[in-house]
Amino acid sequence: MGAFDGPTETKLKMHIFVADKGDYYDITDDLPQNEQWATVAHPRAAFNF
């Protein structure tokens, strides 16, 4: 998610680029996983800003 200067109310909605993640990482939540860029109208739509 990058770096923030302070606390935010940001919540993840999905994982993107999971096809490129290392095999030593496990995604263990119930969020949708997209192998490539998520098909949303705007990249920020993947997050709750």
38/49 Cα distance (integer angstroms): 16
Q: What is the pLDDT of residue 36?
A: 80
41/12 Cα distance (integer angstroms): 16
Q: What is the pLDDT of residue 44?
A: 60
28/37 Cα distance (integer angstroms): 20
Q: What is the pLDDT of residue 29?
A: 95
Question: Whole-prediction pTM value?
Answer: 0.55
Averages of pLDDT over runs of 10 residues in the chain (49 residues) are 80 88 93 79 57
